[in-house]
Amino acid sequence: MERKVVNLRNAREIGLLFDASDTDVTAQVNLFAESLRKERKKIFMLGYYNFPKPAINLHFPYFNRKNVTWYYEPNGLLVEEFIARKFDILISAHIEENLPLEYISTMSQSTFRVGQYDKNKTYAYDFMIDLKGEKDLRKLMDQVKYYIEMV
C-alpha cells in the first residue's frame, strides 16, 4: 500500500477508529465525526466495545471482545471491510493503548494513518500527535484536525 500525506481539504473519506467502551469517549468521537461531516467528509466509524456481550445502544459499526483472538487480533466482516477500505485519512481516536485498534490501523489500506504518538508504534501510524503525557482525547482530536488541515 502506498502511503502519502493527505490534508483535510483534499480528503473525501475518513475512517475513525475508537474505543466505544466508554460513553463519554463515544460522545466525544461522535461530536468530532459530526464536525467532519459538516465539512462534507464521508465518515466511517468503527468502535471497539471491550465487553463480550453485544452493546445495546451503539448506533455505529462496532466489534467486541468476542471478535478478538487471544493475541488481540480482531476479526469478523466489519473489521475486514474496514481494513480493506481505502480511506483518504484514518484517524485512531484513542488515548490508551488498544491492541485491536492498533492492529486495524497497521493493516489498514488507508492512504494516511494518524494517531497518538508512541515511539514504539511507528508501524501503525504515518503521522503521530504528541500529547506530552496528557491523557486528553478531545485535545488529541483537536490537534489531529489542526495538523491535517495544515499538511
pLDDT of amino acid 124? 97
pLDDT of amino acid 126? 97
Helix (H, G, I), strand (E, B) or coil at 67: helix
Beta-carbon contacts of 145 under 8 Å, excluding residues fewer than 6 positions away, are 8, 32, 35, 36
pLDDT along the chain (151 residues), means of 10: 92 98 96 97 98 90 96 97 98 97 98 97 96 95 95 81
Task: Give which of 101, 92, 90 is closest to 48, Cα–Cα.
Answer: 101
Cα pseudo-dihedral 92, 143, 31, 14, rounded to 10: -50
Packing angle of the helix pair 137-150, 23-37 (nearest 10 deg): 20
- Residues 93, 33: Cα–Cα separation, whole Å: 11
Q: Is the CB of residue 120 less than 8 Å from the CB of residue 87?
A: no
C-alpha cell read off for 93: 481516536
pLDDT of amino acid 56? 86
Global pTM? 0.96
Pick the CATH number of 13-150 from 2.60.40, 3.40.91, 1.10.10, 3.40.50: 3.40.50
Helix (H, G, I), strand (E, B) or coil at 119: coil
pLDDT of amino acid 1? 75
